[in-house]
Amino acid sequence: MMDWAYLFEISLTGIASGGLYALAALAFVMVYKATRVVNIAIGEMLMAGGYLFFTFAAMWALPLWLAIPAAVLACGLLGAVIERTMIRPLLGEPPISVFMVTVGLSSVLIGLVEMIWTADQRRLPEFMPTNPIMVGDAFLAPKVFWGAVIAAVFIAAVLLVFRYWRGGVALRATASDQAAAYSVGINVPRVFSLAWVASAMLAAISGIIVGSIGGISSSMGVFGLSVLVVVIVGGLDSVLGALVGGILIGLVEALAGAYLGGEYKLLATFVVLVVILMARPYGLFGTHEIERL
Amino acid sequence: METTLAHGANSAAQPLLQVDSVTLAFGGVRALSGVGFGVQPGSITAVIGPNGAGKTSLFNTISGFYRPTSGSIRFRGQDITRIPAPQRAKMGLGRSFQNIALFRGMTVLDNIKLGRHAHLKTNVFDALFYMGRARREEAELRRDIEERIIDFLEIDHIRHAPVSALSYGLQKRVEMARALAMQPEILMLDEPVAGMNREETEDMARFILDVRAEWGVTVLMVEHDMGMVMDLSDHVVVLNFGQVISQGVPAVVQADPEVNRAYLGSGNVDELRAKLRAAARIPTSAGAAA
Amino acid sequence: MRIGTLKESYVADAALFDSRTQHAWLAIAAVLLVLFPFIASDYWLYLACLVAINVASATGLNILTGYTGLVSLGQAAFMGLGAYTVAILQTRYGTPMLLNLLAGGVVAMLGGIIVGIPSLRVKGLYLAIATIAASFIAHFLFANFEITGGTAGLSLAPARVLGMDLDTSFRLYWLIVPVTVLMLLGAANLFRTRIGRAFIAIRDRDISAEVLGIALLRYKLLSFGLSSFYAGIAGGLWAYFFRVVTPESFPLSMSIFFLAAIIVGGMGSILGGILGAVFMTMVPELLKLLVDLLPGGASLAVFLSPVRLVIFGALIIGFLVFEPLGLAEVWRRVRRFFHLWPFRN
């Protein structure tokens, strides 16, 4: 007998956590859309945001309305530094090189976090309402729900920005041809910096939310692997894809975790990845690059 | 004046390469429509036409990179339309590329040796061990390339140079060398003298003639340099908008009014203006002056 | 000063070591390698074995990523396949050591070929990400099956050769180093032949390579297979060396280690693979030494692990930004200097 109520409850949690994936995926897509860089350190940047918030809110006991923006801005600064020191020098190099730089970056970030804050898991101060959320008979953890709500707000904001701001077109121009973008007057370095700063800030928000739900630790970056799958499923340069992909992967993981067991979550995600890579390598909404001989 | 279209029924002997009603469509774009012609063994055939006419697409289809939507390609009488590209190389279709496709991580010598890949026999186990079959094959290959190709194309002074360090003209020559290493029966040259000066063009023309004379290789080339095309070719095929609009000996093609219209326009300014206006949907005004 | 070297036959021109000086250096190196175990302490023998295993694996990765251009973050997983195969065969069936090693290589090779199958449709970064997925799937398989001992893993009895147990670093040295040298020779030979050239062609311009007669899928699979065969052998040696194999023995960070090794050493060069592996293996040891020498070093020891992570990452970034051709290029510059001395260029 199929327990529909249980399925519904699990799916609800899945969709909500999918919203979180979507937000982090958005941070990834932002960088890819502007600079064609696959940032495999996205999970670690998320972690940095969570730790910065921890420092401001717990260690320095700043009030929340100060700590959250401070953490987000500090992470944005980190993004700018990363872009300037390790991404920009590799302009024009094959994309594999930049990819490997981000691999190195993830290592550096994990090491730094362990050095400064040790590898122990920490809890973040509570700032979300704690009343359990009930949808009919289904229970939804409040943190997950509110996290998803915050994520949805930011996703909507980013979608609007991309739609109505002419900068969105500039972003795509710099990604596809830097020299051409330069020659029509787009300030390419500034666009690059902006993209990385924005991405880092989105990652920070993600990190704060995810950290609030499950605590922060130096292995938090593993979240980034699921985010990677989300963007591949959705399409590396598609904002809509990040949304749809996020919800999809959130569902898959929740269902796998509930019906197969916790250790199958990541496995299920990677199986989805392999299937998508074989069937539709450019994702559901990504743009297909055609190679000319 | 004979101008045959579509099916090239131009000679009694069996053509080495026969392209039959080949159509190539990418989505809504038709790169080639019903293209047909034959290349006689031992001839130098040139494919000409304005930019975007489909010449490189034609080459890519013959090479096996694109599969035609309809039509067939026969080589030595055998239908090769469905045969994958690497096998066509083994059968004797050699080629050079429009935008030099040398392997930048290798020296000139290694690039040329690569051309012979399809005809070599060394397998992985031979390669790992090296002493024995691989060594013999490599030595044999080296001797052959040095004596027949490097000498012939006069590139002995750069054999160990990395290709990325060479001038454009030399790179083109190395491309040709690599194509020759493929031991081709038919050599397809995509714009062999593009970007070359007078002297380099003459050198390349001389090489092409020598290749035909000494090696017995049939040449099929895409070229824009009309002087070279008319001086060298036995047979010329003219493409425009993916269709063959004329073919025959150079003199015939040169005089063909269709060809002139495609390349040079009709010379009638009013006709041109009317065409442009129609395309832009601008209302007829008393606009004079250019 | 060496101005030019005259070769009198094509075969001589193609030789791996082509001058008298190089032959001399080679002889010296061989002598040193043979003498080393008799003069070195246990600690240095341990290091030498570890370095050799890493050199073998890094060379395998170099074939795939450096020469063929297929980025892989799955090298550790293939090593794991080799290691587990050796462990299972040794503990369950007691089969001879060399057979086990070969079997380990073959199993890893099959794994590599399977992972390589999508490589025709899936290119570049997508392939790299697929190899990460493969890594996780491998880890899952190692941790969740009875035959692999589950999360506890397997422990092995030492390899037995001619009635002797290989249970000291000294004894294992005589297994590991010659195997590694053979593998290096094989790789160097590979790139003198059409197979190696085909790999490089695929890296540089795979579409043109096909039109020149190289069957892409076949050669990509060959590259995957060969490099994972190397990884499998290295993994098998690892198993005999450490005598314990667990699912945590071959994490993703180890794959990153090997990628870093070939970047730092110089991709697409056999010497680069050697230099990179040596360098990356020695760096954590040097760190440990430093920490021991510094006053108050004991309290710093807890930082060793994160500092190592930071240094690994910084090395990858640093070399990619400042010296993308790696240590091999630095070496070449030094050599050129000595060849031309007392002239400058």
CB-CB neighbors (< 8 A) of B115 in chain C: 212
The reported pLDDT for the residue numbered B290 is 38
For residue C261, tell me if it sits in a domain.
no
For residue C200, tell me if it sits in a domain.
yes
Range ranked top by mean pLDDT from B43-47, C95-99, C286-290: B43-47
Structural element, H or E, at residue A181? helix A178-183
Domain boundaries, chain A: 4-279
Q: Quick one: what percent of chain C has pLDDT higher than 90?
A: 43
Higher pLDDT, A166 or A255: A255
What DSSP assignment string belongs to C182-229?
HHHHHHHHHTTSHHHHHHHHHHHHHHHHHHTT--HHHHHHHHHHHHHH
| Mean pLDDT, chain C, whole residue set | 87
Q: Residue C40 belongs to what domain range? A: 19-250
Higher pLDDT, C300 or C148: C148
> Quick check: B10 pLDDT over 80?
no
- Compare CB distances from B130 to C189, C197, C207 and report the shortest one's residue: C189
CB-CB neighbors (< 8 A) of B60 in chain A: 293
For residue C118, tell me if it sits in a domain.
yes
Conformational region of residue C267, where left means phi above 0, alpha means psi within -120 to 50, and beta covers everything else: beta
SS (H, E, C) chain B: CCCCCCCCCCCCCCCCEEEEEEEEEECCEEEEEEEEEEECCCCEEEEECCCCCCHHHHHHHHHCCCCCCEEEEEECCEECCCCCHHHHHHHCEEECCCCCCCCCCCEHHHHHHHHCHHHCCCCHHHHHHCCCHHHHHHHHHHHHHHHHHHHHHCCHHHCCCEHHHCCHHHHHHHHHHHHHHCCCCEEEEECCCCCCCHHHHHHHHHHHHHHHHHHCCEEEEECCCHHHHHHHCCEEEEEECCEEEEEECHHHHHHCHHHHHHHHCCCCHHHHHHHHHHHHCCCCCCCCCC
> Quick check: C5 pLDDT over 70?
no
Cβ neighbours, 10 Å, residue B147: 10
Q: In terms of Cα–Cα distance, which of C254, C259, C261, C298 is closest to C282? A: C261
> Cis omega before residue B86 (within 30°)?
no
pLDDT digits (tens, 9 = 90+) for C6-39: 666 766 666 666 667 778 888 888 899 888 888 8
For residue C75, tell me if it sits in a domain.
yes
The reply to whether B144 touches chain C by the CB within 8 Å rule is no
pLDDT band at A183 (very low <50, low <70, confident <90, very high): confident
CB-CB neighbors (< 8 A) of A95 in chain C: 124-125
Least confident of B151-160, B226-235, C147-156: C147-156
CATH topology of domain A4-279: ABC transporter involved in vitamin B12 uptake, BtuC (1.10.3470)
The contact set of C with B (CB < 8 A) is: 10-11, 13-14, 186, 189-190, 192-198, 200-201, 203-205, 207-216, 222, 226, 268
Please state the ipTM of this predicted complex: 0.84
Q: How far is B98 from chain A (nearest CA, A)?
A: 9
Mutation pick from A100, A249, A275, A293 vs chain C, by most beta carbons of C within 10 Å, is A100
The reported pLDDT for the residue numbered C280 is 92
Structural element, H or E, at residue A159? helix A142-164
The reported pLDDT for the residue numbered A290 is 52
For the segment B49-76, the average pLDDT, to the nearest whole number, is: 88
Looking at the structure of chain C, the number of domains it has is: 1
pLDDT digits (tens, 9 = 90+) for A84-123: 999 989 887 777 788 889 989 999 999 999 988 887 888 8
pLDDT digits (tens, 9 = 90+) for C121-136: 777 778 888 888 888 8
> Quick check: C263 pLDDT over 80?
yes
CB-CB neighbors (< 8 A) of B97 in chain A: 293
Higher pLDDT, B152 or C20: B152
Conformational region of residue A291, where left means phi above 0, alpha means psi within -120 to 50, and beta covers everything else: beta
The reply to whether B65 touches chain C by the CB within 8 Å rule is yes
> Quick check: C58 pLDDT over 90?
yes
The reply to whether C79 touches chain A by the CB within 8 Å rule is no
Q: How far is C335 from chain B (nearest CA, A)?
A: 18
- Closest CA in chain A for residue C315: A104
Cβ neighbors of B151 (< 8 A, separation 6 or more) are none
Structural element, H or E, at residue A258? helix A239-259
The reported pLDDT for the residue numbered C12 is 66
The reported pLDDT for the residue numbered A140 is 80
What DSSP assignment string belongs to C51-102?
HHHHHHHHHHHIIIIIIS----S-HHHHHHHHHHHHHHIIIII---HHHHHH
The reported pLDDT for the residue numbered A222 is 85
> Quick check: C219 pLDDT over 80?
yes
Residue C207: exposure state from Cβ atoms within 10 A (0-12, 13-18, ≥19): middle
DSSP state of C122: S
The reply to whether C145 touches chain A by the CB within 8 Å rule is no
pLDDT digits (tens, 9 = 90+) for B70-123: 999 999 989 999 899 889 988 999 988 888 889 888 899 999 999 999 888 888
For residue C231, tell me if it sits in a domain.
yes
pLDDT band at B11 (very low <50, low <70, confident <90, very high): very low
Q: Provide the strand spans (E) within A27-162.
A: 133-135, 138-140
pLDDT band at A261 (very low <50, low <70, confident <90, very high): confident
Q: How far is A264 from chain B (nearest CA, A)?
A: 39
CB-CB neighbors (< 8 A) of B65 in chain A: 293
For residue C65, tell me if it sits in a domain.
yes
Structure tokens at B279: 């395309």
Neighboring chains of B (3 or more beta-carbon pairs < 8 A): A, C
CATH 3.40.50.300 in chain B: give the residue spans.
1-92+184-290
- In words, the CATH class of domain B1-92+184-290 is alpha beta
Mutation pick from A47, A82, A107, A237 vs chain C, by most beta carbons of C within 10 Å, is A107
Residue C117: exposure state from Cβ atoms within 10 A (0-12, 13-18, ≥19): middle
> Quick check: A132 pLDDT over 50?
yes
The reported pLDDT for the residue numbered A291 is 47
> Quick check: C142 pLDDT over 60?
yes
The reported pLDDT for the residue numbered C164 is 79
Q: Quick one: what percent of chain C has pLDDT higher than 70?
A: 92
For residue C305, tell me if it sits in a domain.
no
Least confident of A175-179, B138-142, C329-333: A175-179
pLDDT digits (tens, 9 = 90+) for B206-231: 989 998 998 899 999 998 888 888 88
For residue C270, tell me if it sits in a domain.
no
Least confident of B257-271, C108-122, C310-324: B257-271
The reported pLDDT for the residue numbered B224 is 83
CB-CB neighbors (< 8 A) of A293 in chain B: 56, 60, 65, 97
CB-CB neighbors (< 8 A) of C276 in chain A: none
> Quick check: C162 pLDDT over 70?
yes
pLDDT digits (tens, 9 = 90+) for B223-268: 888 888 888 999 999 988 888 888 899 888 888 887 877 766 666 7
CB-CB neighbors (< 8 A) of C307 in chain A: 111, 115
For the segment C153-180, the average pLDDT, to the nearest whole number, is: 85
Q: Residue with structure tokens 């040295």?
A: C173
**CB < 8 Å from A in window 249-268 of C:** 253, 256, 259-260, 263
Least confident of A177-191, B261-275, C314-328: B261-275
Strands B235-240 and B44-48: what pairing?
parallel
